[in-house]
Structure 1
């Protein structure tokens, strides 16, 4: 919990109290001031909640990245093992897939360079 949430809750409570005193005294100005302070407190509390949520998400992402970095060898090894099992289980399909990828790369790399368009407006 951060200071925005604490201050927002305090303002909200103060606004409710001021509003209640304004109602009891019949003072419309105190009521309006209390409602305004209450709304400002709620807004500040929501802002604090949003900051906490962003901080929690950033902490979770950081922890996940650190975990992946610390166990990168395991992840790479697992991926290699899974690929080896797929190739072992289906060698013909793997060969066809590798050939298709190689063919697509060859088409992309051997394509001639694009020429700029020629014409009246392209000089």
Structure 2
């Protein structure tokens, strides 16, 4: 829970109290202030809920990313254990390709 939700709930409650006080005293101005304050509080509370939802969504995405990374590392390690020669050849070819790319760009 963040400060927007707490502040919004407090504003909403305060607006409700003003509205009730305005109804009890037949003060239209106080009732209007109460309705406005209650609406602003409700809006601020909704902003807080949206922020909390976005934070939870980001946390879930981060957890999923960590999970996918861990699974891919395990799969790569398994393939490396199963085919060590293929990994050495692939690494050598990748190094040769990078060396060729960097050396050809210097000649120009």
Measure, in 2, the Cα distance between the counterparts of 1:45 and 1:66: 32
Q: Which has more helix, going by share of residues?
A: 2
Q: Bigger relative contact order, structure 1 or 2, given CA contacts below 8 A and separation 6+?
A: 2
For structure 2, the 5+ residue unaligned runs are 80-108
RMSD: 1.8
Q: Which residue of 2 is the match for residue 43 of structure 1?
A: 43
Q: How does 1:73-84 map to 2 (within 5 A)?
A: 73-75=73-75
Q: Which has the larger radius of gyration?
A: 1
1:88-115 CA-partner distances (Å, limit 9, x unpaired): xxxxxxxxxxxxxxxxxxxxxxxxxxxx
1:3-38 CA-partner distances (Å, limit 9, x unpaired): 000000000000000000000000000000000000
Measure, in 2, the Cα distance between the counterparts of 1:47 and 1:39: 12
Report deviation, 1:76. Answer: 5.5
Q: Which residue of 1 is the match for residue 24 of structure 2?
A: 24
For structure 1, the 5+ residue unaligned runs are 81-123
Q: Which residue of 2 is the match for residue 65 of structure 1?
A: 65
Does residue 52 of the first structure (1) align with residue 40 of the second (2)? no
Report deviation, 1:60. Answer: 0.3
- Helix, strand or coil: the match of 2:6? helix
Does residue 11 of the first structure (1) align with residue 11 of the second (2)? yes
Measure, in 1, the Cα distance between the counterparts of 2:27 and 2:62: 52
Runs of 4+ in 1 over 2 A off after TM superposition: 73-78
Q: Aligned residue pairs: how many?
A: 79
1:36-80 CA-partner distances (Å, limit 9, x unpaired): 0000000000000000001100000001101111221345689x8
